[in-house]
């Protein structure tokens, strides 16, 4: 019980929020507390000025007034200062002690005045003490310990003194005072409990708000941050681009957008696993972060693609130098837990100079520059130019013409022979697509094929070209072979392949004499789907030829896992083969590889007798190139077959 009573008279220092709330509330009540105390004391001094000694009516209350004024000044000076927790506890505990001292002093002074004066003056003493203690309890409501100390310091002497006077009126006043103060103390406890609960609720509410804010901040961070690399993500990049571009337009200053694509990432990811691929992306992000500052913003856009926002006044030459530095950093070897991987980064930049600008349009320009870099300067930087703008316009024109074209009439097929140089016989022909448009004239195959892929017309175009190729092939003597190229879209489209198989069946051409040519890059785009679809073709007796071998993302692991009948060595190894010993070594290696895995090896692109002689010495016998025949219409293929048959006979 003693501990409980003692606990009521001590400030709870373990609750910082409650301490600060008590201090704040009490600071607002201090002026009223001392104002009430001083006015009551002045009134009592005046009623006893003539009857009591000056020491009691003037000097002693003056000292009490001075103490009250000092306390008011101290609290007034510190009312708006932030008070540390420890100091706040000391202030409140000091208030408790001082409340007891002042309570006893004022009580002793009032009781000392009681013997002086008439009955009215004595009644004023009783009224003064009752009024003062009630006022103090109200003013000290938020500091329960101080209120209880004042109550005890006043009520106990008051009750004992007036109950012992023997006067029925004063005894009744003492008894009444006990009841009233008891009720006040009950109200004090109730109010203090509610006050404490309120502070606790506020504390819990603040904690919940902080938790909610932290969760909101974390959600915002995750929504705008790539979880693997800790770089801003595509959403953040778009938002930052909109913000910075708007500022650049408003301030009439330049800005550039860059898109980076890692060349050779997919083979690393497929060969060594996703964990190694993730580590490579994290390291690539770290390297890109080396270039970030207030003016350069880097983000991961998705997969192996990253974005840059260059918010600085850089001309095309400076952008190219920055891009070269970025690409050089990405070309350094990646050391991935015992694995050394080598990739490169192609970078496309687009600049906003002045005037109005559109973020989506600027991004598309950068994407086109990236495409141009991957096609023509892989591992390098391309800055979007007026020439690229004209190329985009031309592409748009081609797209529109392709969509409205009569493909059945405008598309046709030419054929280029591949020869067995040991027997000089034509083994077959590769079908080559051609498009002649009334407005555009003859459009290059690589151009209109990309257009068909953009427009979603690749499947339709492939079916038309394949049907035309088969119409010609059925006229050839057996077993003349037909090679037909499939695009990246065709390889992963099961519906397109099923359409081609239906056309093949209707044509009557022997599937054993058909090869579908696919490029390494097309297969690697989605290797598993491509392999499954190629196996579907194999089951029908169709051969698979890997075209342009050595120029894409080839690896022996992929070559071994693909159902290949034929490998075609790219023409880039043939151009300078007479003077380039390295090219000869590469070709010899590929020829040996084909022999070891049971594939037919075909060499493309020879144009001279010298090249043919060198290739034959290296073990190549099946060749295709201008030296043996340029692409020709079907009638010339029939003439050539007849001619070669006559020579062989």
Half-sphere exposure of 498 (CA within 13 A, CB side): 3
Q: Is the pLDDT at 199 greater than 70, yes or no?
A: yes
What pLDDT digit, counting tens, does each position of 300-342 carry? 999 899 999 999 888 889 999 999 999 999 999 998 888 888 8
What is the spatial distance between Cα 466 and Cα 460, in angstroms, rounded to a whole number? 10
On whether the CB atoms of residues 323 and 347 are closer than 8 A, the answer is yes
Which 3-state string (H, E, C) describes 117-138?
CCHHHHHHHHHHHHHHHHHHHH
Instruction: Provide mean pLDDT across the span 635-642.
Output: 92
The residue ranges of DSSP E strands in 520-638, in sequence order, are: 543-549, 566-569, 600-604, 622-624
Catalytic residue check, 643 = no
What is the spatial distance between Cα 49 and Cα 43, in angstroms, rounded to a whole number? 10
pLDDT at 258 over 90: yes
pLDDT of residue 648: 57
Separation in Å, CA 292 to CA 60, 232, 296, 301: 76, 12, 5, 16
**What's the Cα-to-Cα distance from 520 to each of 274, 525, 553, rounded to whole Å?**
21, 9, 6
> Is the pLDDT reported for residue 219 higher than 80?
no
β-pairing verdict for 339-341 and 543-549: unpaired
**Taking the mean position of all CA atoms in its chain, how far away is CA 413?**
48
Element of type H or E holding 74: helix 60-77
Which band of pLDDT confidence, cut at 50, 70 and 90, is reported for residue 8?
low
Length of the chain: 649
Distance CA 572, CA 578 (A): 13
Instruction: Output 352 or 506, whichever has higher pLDDT.
Output: 506
| Euclidean distance between CA atoms 455 and 499, whole angstroms | 19
| pLDDT attached to residue 310 | 93
Of the candidates 604, 607, 642, 643, the residue annotated as catalytic is 604
Among 616, 153, 163, which residue's Cα sits nearest to residue 424?
A: 616
Q: What is the pLDDT of residue 355?
A: 60
Predicted confidence (pLDDT) at residue 234 exceeds the cutoff of 60? yes
Q: What is the pLDDT of residue 354?
A: 62
Domain ranges, ordered by start, for the chain: 2-206, 234-384, 405-648
3-class state of residue 212 by DSSP: helix
Provide, for the chain, the percentages of residues in helix, strand and coil under a 3-state DSSP scheme, each rounded to the nearest 5. 65, 15, 20
Q: Which helix (H) or strand (E) holds 223?
A: helix 168-224
1: pLDDT confidence band, cut at 50, 70 and 90?
Answer: very low
Q: How confident is the prediction for the chain on average, in pLDDT?
A: 86
Per-residue pLDDT band for 4 (boundaries 50, 70, 90) equals low
Binned at pLDDT 50, 70 and 90, residue 482 comes out as very high
Tell me the average pLDDT across 197-204: 82
> Per the omega criterion (within 30 degrees of 0), is the bond before 408 cis?
no
Confidence class for position 2, pLDDT limits 50, 70, 90? very low
| pLDDT-wise least confident of 4-13, 212-221, 471-480, 518-527 | 4-13
Q: Tens of pLDDT along 40-93?
A: 888 888 888 888 888 888 888 888 888 888 877 877 777 677 778 788 778 778
Q: What's the mean pLDDT in 416-424? A: 91
Rounded distance, CA 363 to CA 349, Å?
9
Residues 260-290: tens digit of each pLDDT = 999 888 878 877 888 889 999 999 999 999 9
Return the higher-pLDDT residue of 649 and 514.
514
Widest distance between CA atoms in the chain: 158
566 neighbors 527 (Cβ within 8 angstroms): no
pLDDT tens for 22-31 read 777 777 777 8
**Strand pairing partners for 417?**
429
Q: Are 550 and 542 in contact (CB under 8 A)?
A: no
CA 28 to chain centre: 49
Closest CA to 90 of 38, 204, 13, 3: 13
3-state secondary structure of 199: helix
Q: Is the per-residue pLDDT at 398 higher than 50?
A: yes
> Could you tell me if 20 and 203 are in contact, meaning their C-beta atoms sit under 8 angstroms apart?
no
Share above pLDDT 70 across residues of the chain, in percent, rounded to a whole number = 95
Q: Does domain 405-648 have CATH number 3.20.20.450?
A: yes
- Residue 463 pLDDT class (50, 70, 90 cuts): very high
Q: In what order do the strands lie in the sheet with 344-352?
A: 296-302, 305-310, 255-263, 344-352, 381-383
Give tens-digit pLDDT for 509-553.
Answer: 999 999 999 987 777 777 788 888 989 999 999 999 988 776 654
| Residues contacting residue 432 through CB under 8 Å, at least 6 positions apart | 413, 414, 415, 416, 445, 485, 631
pLDDT tens figures, 126-157: 888 888 888 888 888 788 888 888 888 888 88
What is the model's pLDDT at position 340? 85
SS3 letters across 366-433: HHHHHHHHHHHCCCCEEECCHHHHHHHHHHHHHHHHHHHCCHHHHEEEEEEEEEECCCCEEEEEEEEE
| Cα distance between residue 301 and residue 309, in whole Å | 12
Torsion 22-25-28-30 (CA) sign: negative
Instruction: Confirm whether 234-384 and 405-648 share one CATH topology.
Output: no
> Tell me: domain 234-384, CATH 3.30.70.270, correct?
yes
């Amino acid at each position: 019980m003693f501990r409980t009573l003692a606990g009521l008279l001590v400030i709870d220092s373990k609750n910082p929020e409650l301490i600060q709330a008590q201090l704040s509330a009490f600071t607002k009540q201090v002026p009223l507390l001392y104002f009430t105390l001083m006015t009551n004391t002045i009134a009592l001094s005046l009623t006893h000025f003539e009857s009591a000694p000056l020491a009691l009516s003037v000097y002693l209350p003056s000292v009490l007034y001075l103490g009250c004024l000092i306390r008011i000044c101290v609290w007034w000076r510190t009312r708006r200062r932030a008070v540390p927790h420890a100091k706040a506890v000391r202030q409140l505990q000091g208030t408790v002690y001082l409340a007891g001292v002042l309570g006893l002093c004022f009580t002793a002074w009032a009781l000392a005045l009681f013997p002086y004066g008439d009955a009215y003056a004595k009644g004023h003493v009783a009224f003064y003490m009752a009024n003062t203690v009630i006022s103090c309890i109200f003013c000290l409501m938020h500091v329960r310990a101080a209120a209880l100390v004042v109550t005890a310091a006043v009520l106990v002497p008051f009750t004992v003194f007036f109950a012992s006077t023997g006067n029925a009126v004063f005894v009744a006043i003492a008894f009444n005072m006990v009841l009233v103060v008891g009720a006040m103390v009950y109200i004090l406890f109730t109010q203090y409990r509610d006050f404490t609960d309120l502070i606790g609720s506020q504390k819990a509410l603040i904690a919940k708000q902080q938790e909610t804010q932290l969760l909101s901040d974390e959600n915002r961070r995750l929504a705008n941050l790539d979880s693997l690399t800790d770089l801003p993500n595509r959403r953040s990049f778009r938002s930052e681009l909109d913000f910075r571009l708007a500022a650049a337009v408003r301030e009439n200053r330049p800005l550039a957008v860059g898109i980076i694509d890692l060349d050779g990432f997919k083979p690393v990811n497929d060969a060594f696993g996703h964990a190694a691929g993730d580590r490579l992306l994290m390291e690539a992000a770290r390297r890109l972060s080396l270039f970030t500052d207030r003016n350069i913003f880097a983000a991961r856009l998705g997969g192996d693609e990253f974005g840059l926002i260059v918010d600085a006044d850089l001309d095309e030459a400076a952008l190219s130098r920055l891009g070269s530095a970025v690409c050089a950093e990405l070309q350094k070897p990646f050391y991935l837990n015992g694995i050394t991987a080598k990739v490169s980064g192609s970078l496309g930049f687009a600049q906003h100079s002045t005037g109005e600008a559109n973020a989506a349009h600027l991004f598309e320009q950068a994407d086109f520059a990236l495409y141009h870099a991957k096609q023509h300067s892989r591992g390098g930087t391309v800055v979007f130019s007026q020439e690229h703008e004209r190329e985009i316009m031309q592409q748009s024109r081609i797209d529109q013409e392709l969509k409205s074209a009569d493909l059945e009439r405008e598309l046709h097929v030419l054929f280029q022979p591949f020869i067995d140089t040991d027997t000089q016989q034509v083994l077959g022909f590769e079908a080559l697509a051609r498009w002649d448009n009334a407005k555009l004239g003859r459009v290059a195959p690589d151009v209109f094929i990309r257009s068909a892929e953009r427009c979603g017309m690749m499947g339709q175009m492939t079916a038309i070209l394949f049907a035309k190729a088969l119409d010609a092939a059925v006229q050839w003597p057996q077993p003349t072979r037909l090679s037909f190229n499939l695009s990246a879209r065709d390889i992963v489209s099961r519906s397109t392949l099923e359409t081609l198989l239906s056309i093949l069946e209707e044509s009557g051409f022997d599937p054993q004499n058909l090869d579908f040519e696919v490029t390494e890059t097309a297969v690697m785009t989605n290797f598993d789907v491509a392999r499954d679809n190629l196996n579907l073709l194999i089951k029908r007796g169709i051969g698979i030829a890997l075209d342009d071998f050595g120029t894409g993302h080839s690896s022996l692991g992929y070559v071994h896992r693909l159902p290949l009948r034929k490998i075609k060595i790219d023409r880039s190894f043939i151009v300078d083969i007479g003077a380039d010993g390295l090219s000869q070594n590469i070709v010899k290696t590929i020829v040996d590889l084909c022999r070891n895995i049971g594939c037919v090896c075909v060499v493309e692109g020879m144009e001279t007798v010298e090249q043919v002689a060198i290739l034959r010495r290296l073990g190549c016998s099946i060749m295709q190139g201008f030296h043996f025949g340029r692409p020709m219409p079907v009638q010339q293929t029939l003439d050539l077959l007849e001619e070669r048959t006559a020579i062989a006979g």
